Amino acid sequence: MGETMEGKSMRQHLLQLLMEQRGSFVSGQEISDELGCSRTAIWKHISELRKEGYVIDAVQRKGYQLMYAPNRVTEPEIKRHLQSTVLAKHIRYEESVKSTQEIAQRLSYEHCPEGTLVIADEQTGGRGRLGRSWQSPKGSGIWMSLILRPDIPLQKSPQLTLLAAVSVAKAIYKTTGMQAEIKWPNDILLNGKKAVGILTELQAESDRIHAVIIGIGINVNVAETEFDPSLRDIATSLKIEGNEDVNRAKLVACIMEEMETLYHEYLQNGFGLIKLLWEGYAESIGKRIRVRTLHEQKEGIAKGITEEGVLLLEDDLGEIHHIYSADIEI
Ligand code: BTN
């Protein structure tokens, strides 16, 4: 039989306590006061945590000390690194879900606070742009959806996708030293291959935005063999490019901090700075590109993006086209 929610959340709470006092012992008494449970129950949770890969020292009359934490994206792991105040203040972690977008959509309708983050260790039906699927293997990526409630007109919502892309590129650089490029509108590339995809979905009524759900998928420690053979030439991961494991929780925390700073700037001063930053990371501006929409294909020079985040394409006759949603090839 599956474990109750209380059991799981008590274990998360215990883990948080051990993490907050990392480097020292936490007494059994303190844990049982904090969690309101018996010494036997504590021991049971410690055994479960050990099964999950945590190394916890237990010494009589001293208590418990966390010695090693595995590379996980649970709430305590993320909060250990987190300094943002609004984004990811509320985290909903799941071991396995169909899609974090679905859960975020539901939580948003239930009026969860702005900044709520839904994150999963695995997605069984991850969604990509343009109706595609998104491979989300267990334990090796970041599969998350963030709920924002900006007071902006509907047509400005694509700006938030670009803001998210810049935040992820900055966080990748801060965490790994790797320079990512952004391919309009929202693919993040490492050495020309896609490592990150962003899917923005809206909940709106007439012109009023109820919520923007920003879904971010990052191939962090995904091995080449985990990619579908059809993707191996075009997809990559941070680990493949940098040759080392990346701490997923630390990267999530860093993205939330970068996003919080830029989101604040955006709400206060508009899209100007984000546009400049985005253009600094863009791989295609000034280059000849091919644009594929659902119905047609166009070629020309990518001239830049508008204030709304729309791509400007100049065709061979000098005519400028506004591209709202498409795939581009260089
Ligand atoms: C793309 O097609 O490039 C966008 C991919 C977005 C994938 C992420 S993973 C977390 C969130 N949940 C989903 O089902 N999709 C997004």
pLDDT exceeds cutoff 80 at 235: yes
Share of the chain above pLDDT 90, in %: 80
The predicted structure's pLDDT at residue 1 = 41
Ligand 1 center to 253 CA (angstroms): 18
**5-68: CATH topology:** Arc Repressor Mutant, subunit A (1.10.10)
Q: How far is the CA of 50 from the centre of ligand 1 (A)?
A: 31
Total-model pTM: 0.88
Q: Place 38 in a pLDDT band, splitting at 50, 70 and 90.
A: very high
pLDDT band at 308 (very low <50, low <70, confident <90, very high): confident
- Residue 4 is predicted with a pLDDT of 61
The answer to whether residue 224 scores a pLDDT higher than 70 is: yes
Q: What is the pLDDT of residue 142?
A: 98
Residue nearest to atom 15 of ligand 1 (CA): 127
pLDDT (mean) for 8-18 = 87
pLDDT for res 3: 60
- Residue range 44-50: mean pLDDT, rounded: 95
Instruction: For 117-160, give the DSSP string.
Output: EEEEEEESS-B-GGG-B--B-TTTEEEEEEEE-----GGGTHHH
Return residue ranges of the chain for CATH 3.30.930.10.
75-281
pLDDT at 50 (0 to 100): 95
Neighbours of 152 (CB within 10 A): 17
Q: Which residues contact 22 (CB under 8 A, 6 or more apart)?
A: 65, 66
Question: What is the rounded (10 degree) CA torsion for 297, 298, 301, 302?
Answer: -50
Q: What is the DSSP letter of 26?
A: B
Expressed in angstroms and rounded, the spacing between residue 22 Cα and the centre of ligand 1 is 34
Q: Which CATH class is domain 288-329?
A: mainly beta
pLDDT the model gives residue 325: 79
Question: pLDDT, tens digit, for every residue of 86-106?
Answer: 999 999 999 999 999 999 999
Half-sphere exposure of 225 (CA within 13 A, CB side): 0
Quickly state the pLDDT bin for 59 (edges 50, 70, 90): very high
CA distance 141 to 123: 10
User: Ligand 1: which of 102, 107, 143, 199 to mutate, judged by most atoms within 8 Å of the beta carbon?
Assistant: 199
Strand pairing of 208-219 and 193-205?
A: antiparallel
pLDDT band of residue 238 (cuts 50, 70, 90) is very high
Instruction: Point out the ligand 1 atom lying closest to the alpha carbon of residue 123.
Output: 14
Q: Which residues of 112-126 are buried (b: 16+ CB within 10 A; e: fewer)?
A: bebbbbbbbbbbeeb
Confidence check: pLDDT of 294 > 80: no
Yes or no: say if 228 and 216 are a contact pair by the CB < 8 Å rule: no
Domain with CATH 1.10.10.10 in the chain: 5-68
**Quick one: pLDDT at residue 130?**
84
Residue 268 has pLDDT above 60, yes or no: yes
What digits encode the pLDDT tens for the residues 70-91?
999 999 899 989 988 899 999 9
- CATH number, domain 75-281: 3.30.930.10
Q: Is the pLDDT of residue 227 over 90?
A: yes
- Give the pocket of ligand 1 (CB within 6 Å): 99-101, 123, 126-129, 132, 134, 136, 143-145, 187, 197-199, 215-217
Q: Rounded to an integer, what distance in angstroms lies between the CA atom of residue 111 and that of residue 114?
A: 9
Task: Name the strand (E) or helix (H) holding 31.
Answer: helix 28-35
pLDDT by residue (tens digit) across 166-204?
A: 999 999 999 999 999 999 888 999 999 999 999 999 999
**pLDDT value at 127 more than 60:** yes
Where in the sequence of the chain do the CATH 2.30.30.100 domains occur? 288-329
Query: In the predicted model, what is the mean pLDDT of the chain?
Result: 93
Selected residue with higher pLDDT from 6 and 291: 291
Coil vs helix vs strand at 76:
helix
Quick one: pLDDT at residue 203?
95
User: Which stretches does DSSP call E strand in the chain?
Assistant: 55-59, 63-68, 91-97, 117-123, 141-148, 181-183, 187-190, 193-205, 208-219, 288-292, 297-305, 311-314, 320-323, 327-329
CA dihedral 112, 257, 234, 119 (to 10 degrees): -30
